[in-house]
Amino acid sequence: MTLQFLGTSSGQPTLERNLSCIALVREGAIYLLDCGEAAQIQFRRAGLRFGRVAGFLITHMHGDHVTVLPGMLMSLQMAGRTEPLLIAGPPGIREFVVETSRLIATGFGFPIDFVESAAAATVLDTPDLVVETAPLEHRVPAMGYRIVERDFPGRFDVEAARALGVAEGPDFGRLQRGESVVAADGTVVTSEQIVGVPRRGKVVAYCTDTRPCDGAVALARDADVLVHECTFLGDREDDAELSGHSTAAQAASVALRAGVRRLIITHFSPRYSDVAPLLAEARTVFPATEAAEELAEYEV
């Protein structure tokens, strides 16, 4: 999985930063986390393809996170999409898409699977990926996401199985599923002899817009990467509290409590043309922190 930041500013775009949108790319499928202004243009700049969009995960219904969603859907339409599209978000996301489409006289030739949730829920469950959502703490209902890649099965050593006298066929399946089998010479062959250790799937958590909260910690528990909002420096903790946002140190404290491997901070107030002080503040609490850069790609 990779994360590519298409926009990293909060509230208003700046000359250097666009509004919230992240492309999570896994095996060619693209999930867009929020869809703020200029997401379409940044999507093109990132070299991504509209035909690969699998779904949108929207955190909350503020304009800086959703205004370009209708434009994105227009581009999917122009790309000739017919497959269903997932749009997950808080209550209101469906009405926003339906109403704006009506108001801009635009229809779509593909079905949209809306998954609205104001409480903890599973919004996607496929053989590859599970996406869970849970409420955060903002001025309006805001939902965080936990994107969990399923574990990859261990490598099946065909040569070893043959050498131990296991016949190709149903016994291979049994070994793959962790069962033991009896070889041609009557000896027992265990799964561990043939199948490698499963590779753990990666976990990404996305928490914005929010005050530091238990919901964010739970979503981020043991994640490989937590992307957490970081609107202010610590000297504006009161502003953060009032506006439902987090300071750099607060974002880092969520990462620390959740035991994540890496923290990427984003959603910087336009007041900071240089985010180095935010990064420095976060690192005092959680050293494995990076500050999201526009169009930068992060391997999970």
The site string for a second copy over 177-206 (x = CB under 8 A, - otherwise) reads: ------------------------------
Give the separation between CA 34 and CA 96, rounded to whole angstroms. 14
**Considering beta carbons, is residue 64 or 149 the nearer one to a second copy?**
64
64 is a catalytic site residue: yes
Q: Are 226 and 167 in contact (CB under 8 A)?
A: no
Q: What is the CA radius of gyration of the chain?
A: 22
Q: Is 213 in the site for a second copy (CB under 8 A)?
A: no
* Cα angle for residues 266, 218, 119 (degrees, 5° grid): 95
Choose one: 36-44, 126-134, 159-167, 276-284; the region binding a second copy (CB under 8 A): 36-44
The site string for a second copy over 57-76 (x = CB under 8 A, - otherwise) reads: ----xxxx-xxx-xx--xx-
Give the separation between CA 273 and CA 15, rounded to whole angstroms. 9
**Ramachandran area for residue 8 (φ above 0: left; ψ -120 to 50: alpha; else beta):** alpha
Of positions 29, 45, 224, 236, contacts a second copy by CB under 8 A: 45
Give the separation between CA 99 and CA 290, rounded to whole angstroms. 38
Q: Is 38 in the site for a second copy (CB under 8 A)?
A: yes
Length of the chain: 300
At CB < 8 A and 24+ separation, what contacts does 270-278 make?
270/9, 270/10, 270/11, 270/12, 270/13, 270/14, 270/17, 272/233, 273/14, 273/16, 277/233, 277/248, 278/230, 278/233, 278/248
Q: Which listed residue (34, 64, 171, 209) is catalytic?
A: 64
**Considering beta carbons, is residue 37 or 149 the nearer one to a second copy?**
37
Q: Which residues, 101 to 160, sit near a second copy by CB under 8 A?
A: 103-106, 139-140
**Considering beta carbons, is residue 12 or 187 the nearer one to a second copy?**
12
Structure token digits, residue 182: 């009896």
Q: Specify which residues 4 forms β-bridges with.
A: 23, 297
Q: Which residues, 71 to 110, sit near a second copy by CB under 8 A?
A: 71, 74-75, 78, 92, 95-96, 99-100, 103-106
**Considering beta carbons, is residue 99 or 179 the nearer one to a second copy?**
99
Choose one: 40-48, 162-170, 177-185, 198-206; the region binding a second copy (CB under 8 A): 40-48
For residue 98, the one-letter residue type is V
Choose one: 6-14, 20-28, 160-168, 249-257; the region binding a second copy (CB under 8 A): 6-14
Chain contacts with a second copy (rule: CB under 8 A): 11-15, 18-19, 37-38, 40-41, 44-45, 61-64, 66-68, 70-71, 74-75, 78, 92, 95-96, 99-100, 103-106, 139-140
